[in-house]
Structure 1
Amino acid sequence: MDSVIEYLPLLLQGLRTTLLLAVSTAVLGLALGMLLALAKLSRHGWLRAPVFAITNFLRGIPEFLVLLVIYFGGTQLLGALLPGAGLEMGPFAAGLTALTLVFGAYASETFRAAFLSVPKGQIEAGRAYGFNAWQCFRHIQLPQIWRVAIPGLGNLWQGSVKDTALVSIVGLDDLMRKSSQAAQSTREPFTFYLVASLMFLVITVVSMWIIAALERRASRGMTEMR
């Protein structure tokens, strides 16, 4: 117990990095997922087909491989674009890019299904009342899309939090890496990996509570609209 208290500031530093990476991934992944979903629903085959191919590719390979390709490939790309500059893809940037791409690929399917769940008659009625495309999206589609998508997006968020542990492989000082450092220094791997597990569990429990609250609020909002 004394060793845990001694290394607690180190673990909290790692936890902060983990949360920062997870939240940044979720924000960027949601935006990317929405754009990809709109592209998948496009009438233009030249836009729709490549997006389906890319997202299926990202969903079909392990996140770990995506991370390694981004980390090492990004460094090579920077070296090719700016030779002699000595630029490298940092662990946080590589992790954020890789996890955002994966999150966005999965979120695009969640959003696409949510878009398709909105009856076309409601959109046609909105147009009949003089709503433009943005107003239809904002006042008719978005509230219903949000309600349908929350459970799936909640699962993606929790998976993304756990996937942040992969980024420690490329040198990010996240919770997993800090736990490993403490375990090696004290030779108490069970203790510190258990503490890391409990910290991830706390994040999961808090996330489940927030997601459930969002679901209740969205459902209440739809009831009020009716």
Structure 2
Amino acid sequence: MEDKNIHIALVDDDTLVVQLLTAFLKEQENIEVVLTANSGNSFLEKLEREEKTLDIVLLDLRMEDGDGLQTIDILNLQYPKLKIIVLSSYYKASSIGYMLKLGVHAFLPKETDKEDLIHIIQEINHKDHFFTTEQVAVLRNQISHKTPKQYANTKETLSTREIDVLQLICQQLTAKQIAEKLFVTTKTIEAHKSNLLLKTGVKNTAGLIIYAIQNQLVDANDIVLLD
């Protein structure tokens, strides 16, 4: 029987935070806390031995014995499909651009309401990223105040279909949803996305969104907000 639960890991050096979050998440119908750890290094060691495939990790930034930033770098290299939610006591909305470049899928303050956290986990499991209203405003402001990184050969480099796919990615549609809209297979969309990553030189969906805005392929005001 197929396991439809969202497999979660919790990584925080505050044992009480881990215990409370674990207890709360275990009450949810389709969420399974697969493993917990109190440091980045401990998490990576456990992850290497874990038989179940993790979907999402809730990660603290500042920890001893392997901090969050080091852990994120390793996860992006070794577990690129694992989605990362950073929960931080040092949260600043102005850091969202930096977090996206690191490969983080959501950046949240530790005091985020638990019910909101469940909603965000569900959204990220089905899509890619979650932005708060404040974060979207910050992103729009940061991008609009930078000199656009124009690529003279953008339209030549990207095919019409790749641009179509890129614009739909910016609407936070999944590969399956894009495939249905364009009447192709999911594998075809995944191939287009791989080509987009290769041609644009970015590392993830967030990079594609920023690339699309900088090259005026989408309007910053059209970024889909998930909240």
Return the structure number with greater helix share. Answer: 1
TM-score greater than 0.5 by the shorter chain: no
Q: Which has the higher contact order (CA 8 A, sep 6+)?
A: 1
TM-score (norm 1): 0.23
Structure number with greater Rg is: 1
